[in-house]
Amino acid sequence: MTSERAGDERNWAGNVTYSAASISAPSNERELVELIRGTQHVRALGSRHSFNDIADTDDVLVSLVNMPPAIELDGSTVRVSAGFRYGDIVESLHHAGVALANLASLPHISVGGAVQTGTHGSGDSIGSLATQVSALEMITAGGESVRIERGDDDFGGAVVALGTLGIVTHLELDVEATYEISQRVFDGGRWDAIAAALDDVTSAGDSVSIFTTWQSADDVDNVWVKSRTDRPHPDLTFIGAIEAESSRHPIPEIDPTPTTTQIGIPGPWYDRLPHFRLDFTPSVGDELQSEYIVDRSDAVATIAALRTLAPRIAALLHVCEVRTVAADDLWLSEASGRDSVCFHFTWHRDEASVREFLPELEAALPLSARPHWGKVFTLEGAALRERYPRWDDFVALRAKYDPDGRFDNSYLRRLFA
């Protein structure tokens, strides 16, 4: 096992300096068990793509990068190491003839971290990445190795658990036959037309993203449509959008080289569903992110509310993305219990100004709005408790698996105090 002082270790965005005394990387499960048992407070550290202190601790951060790698295909599931990034496993799956139902916009994120925070891609009929999980393995606060599978009583609370129940070491993911996707970008589009026919827009492909800089309260910048190759060619002229003849970056004026192939050229699922390529810095790099997931029935009202705030948003923003995700039954999933629409904000890295503005933004959103657990938000736990019907069940589950708070930290105390 390697261990080093944390020093000035930071998250990917650079806005969080970890409070931990050290970062340890066990090389096997025995070392991980010994580390957990011998540490007062411990948290798992994934690919560092969280924009808040969810992964922080005052004691030891644990990285799984040195654990034995696993990609084990067994019929309709694959068992993978939780520390792998999605980009580390997708080609192997494709070459084995299988695929995942969806991916997030970045292949750079770790499987365990993405699942535990409810991270998602886009698609009216496709759930978050956590819905692909059929079983998970973790080491609990007492050092026990536990496997929880779909159908078990604790499964709904354990998949999206914010790292509170144990250090997740492996996940079993549902797979299907591999497939191809073509990706097209449509420039322009009017909010009035989108709001009047939102279902038609979001069902134009298997995965649809609406991008806007909010420089205009009336128009969007472009719409990205990713479709399996057996679907008809999408047509978005009804919202005033025109298909682009060259590649685009989600953020205007940025070179599109880091993005995945567009202009309708078919390719394997793993090379089209993400917006960005693994070998490039994703998005803009120097940024913060917030995201709010609302009940689909509140989507049009949310669009209207954001239009009234457009000048305030635009002053702090690189780009905003609007996506959809299907309902699930995972207790702390942001889409738990309802089909949802997700409003994602990529901010300039001016955390003081963003945090000053967020309460105004959050107050304008419907009460169904749930923040992404790994991004910047200011809503308190008391408000969030009302938005999750299984909140108290999850609190009881935490007490069951971690009665002494070994995986506790400041972030969790703000939520569950």
Long-range CB pairs of 388-392, under 8 A, 24+ apart, other chains included: 388/331, 388/332, 388/336, 389/336, 389/337, 390/156, 390/157, 390/331, 390/332, 390/336, 391/331, 391/332
Same domain, 332 and 186: yes
Angle at CA of residue 146, ends 412 and 75, nearest 5°: 115
Judge whether 394 lies within some domain: no
Output the domain CATH number for residue 58: 3.30.43.10
Which of the residues in the chain have pLDDT under 50?
Answer: none
Judge whether 412 lies within some domain: no
Return the pLDDT at 281. Answer: 75
Same domain, 43 and 95: no
Output the domain CATH number for residue 221: 3.30.70.2520
Angle at CA of residue 302, ends 300 and 305, nearest 5°: 115
Domain boundary among 178, 200, 226: 178
Q: Is 192 left (phi over 0), alpha (psi -120 to 50) or beta?
A: alpha
Helical axes 299-308 vs 351-364, angle rounded to 10°: 130
Same domain, 259 and 299: yes
Overall domain count for the chain: 3
Domain boundary among 178, 197, 219: 178
Return the pLDDT at 282. Answer: 73
Return the pLDDT at 285. Answer: 73
150, two tokens: 């779909």
Q: How far is CA 58 from CA 32, 172, 305, in A?
A: 18, 31, 39
Return the pLDDT at 339. Answer: 98
Return the pLDDT at 337. Answer: 98
* Domain housing 224: 180-381
- Within 10 A of 405 (CB to CB), how many other CB atoms are there? 15
Same domain, 52 and 95: no
The tens digit of pLDDT for each residue in 220-247 reads 999 999 999 999 999 999 999 999 999 9
Judge whether 391 lies within some domain: no
Judge whether 395 lies within some domain: no
Same domain, 242 and 336: yes
Instruction: Return d(Cα 157, Cα 396) in angstroms, integer.
Output: 10
Name the DSSP class of 395: H
Same domain, 142 and 210: no
Same domain, 199 and 257: yes
Judge whether 192 lies within some domain: yes
Judge whether 386 lies within some domain: no
Judge whether 417 lies within some domain: no
Domain boundary among 158, 178, 198: 178
b/e code 348-377 from CB counts within 10 Å (16+ = b): ebeeeebeebbeebbebbeebbbbbbbbbb
Judge whether 397 lies within some domain: no
Same domain, 58 and 147: no
CB 170 within 8 A of CB 134: no
With CA atoms as reference, report the closest residue to 313 among 282, 338, 347, 286.
Answer: 347
Same domain, 243 and 373: yes
